[in-house]
Amino acid sequence: PVSPFALTRTLPADATAAALRTDVSAGLTAEPKWLPPKWFYDARGSELFEEITRLPEYYPTRTEREILAVRAQEIAAAIDARTLVELGSGSSEKTRLLLDALPKLQAYVPVDVSASALELAGHALLAERPELSVHALVADFQQVLALPDTPGPRLLVFLGGTIGNLLPDERAHFLASVRSLLAPGDALLLGTDLVKYEQTLVAAYDDAAGVTAEFNKNVLSVLNRELGADFHPADFDHVARWNPEHEWIEMRLRARAALTAKIPALDLAVSFEAGEEVRTEVSAKFRRAGVSAELAAAGLTLRHWWTDSADRFALSLATL
Ligand code: AVJ
């Protein structure tokens, strides 16, 4: 018998380490300095993110879950998928709401950079739904994906508002590659956080308990461990700021005093002036017209737009 669980690596084992070095040397020698948000998520960072999702100020996770719970049947009616592809899986609890609503589902394809996260989630799911075949894909969703040969129609889901962590040109590139994965009859389900009152947004990224501050500073611990750097996270302040021009939240780390950090693995020393900031994340907030336009630019048509009662978050369903 064929095993119902298969794991395919499209990333060489050392790809992550190489990408980290490339990103850190580019970002910390740039003016102004930046780091990509994907490096937050080591084991500690993933744990802190889980903690963020339970904070009173951080509404996106519970709001998206609420929309999914209310709309799962409508989603299934729009696309009776035989394969569910989840990009950047890990939100297994939300995925379950979808899985349970799709009666014809045969295959689940979680895509994540972490093989261990995929093994855990895949086997837990199989214990509950032994009739599903799980084809886990170790891949970076920003790279070109080759999906396993599973039955259509396919529903591709990208939840959590993670698309907002991409810059506009990265988003265009990402949506175009999603478009190239879809055949007639397939669909994309996309979660986006929405533009709202500035204080609400800033509070969601600068919580009173300081969990997001710790999450932000965790990227320095990742650099210390992976690249032998000597950052002291306490030398930096957490900053969360609304950028009204781009309509995104920016997280930054601001040096409390002038300092120089050594990064031996890159043979690099990085100096900060007092008050100098490194941008560690953008989290774009959307409006319906913008989502519709970005989908259209990638050759996709917005078919459904579902929000919660307070219009905080949206789920979009798009097809060719
Ligand atoms: C859920 C990954 C999209 O941008 O809101 C949470 C990550 N950053 N708090 C977001 C995050 C700061 C998050 N994503």
Q: Give tens-digit pLDDT for 267-312.
A: 999 999 999 999 999 999 999 999 999 999 999 999 999 999 999 9
Q: Mean pLDDT over residues 195-209, rounded?
A: 98
- Percentage of the chain modeled with pLDDT above 70: 98
Residue range 89-146, pLDDT digits in tens: 665 678 889 999 999 999 999 998 888 888 888 888 888 888 999 999 988 888 878 9
Instruction: State the pTM of this model.
Output: 0.96
pLDDT band at 257 (very low <50, low <70, confident <90, very high): very high
> In angstroms, what is the span from residue 89 Cα to ligand 1's centroid?
14
Q: Vertex 32, ends 30 and 35: CA angle to 5°?
A: 70
Local confidence band at 191 (pLDDT 50, 70, 90 cut-offs): very high
> Is pLDDT of 314 > 70?
yes
Tell me if 294 CB under 6 Å of ligand 1: no
Mean pLDDT over all residues of the chain?
A: 94
For the CA of 60, the closest atom of ligand 1 is 5
Question: Is the beta carbon of 165 within 6 A of some atom in ligand 1?
Answer: yes
Query: pLDDT tens digit string along 43-94?
Result: 899 899 999 999 999 999 999 999 999 999 999 999 999 999 999 866 567 8
Report whether pLDDT(155) > 60: yes
Please name the residue whose Cα sits nearest to atom 5 of ligand 1.
Answer: 283
CA 281 – ligand 1 centroid, Å:
8
How does residue 169 score in pLDDT terms, banded at 50, 70 and 90? Answer: very high
Q: Could you identify the atom of ligand 1 that is nearest to the CA of residue 281?
A: 8
Q: What pLDDT sits at residue 94?
A: 85
pLDDT-based confidence at residue 3 (cuts at 50, 70, 90) = low
ipTM of the complex: 0.99
Task: Give me ligand 1 centre to Cα 296, in Å.
Answer: 25
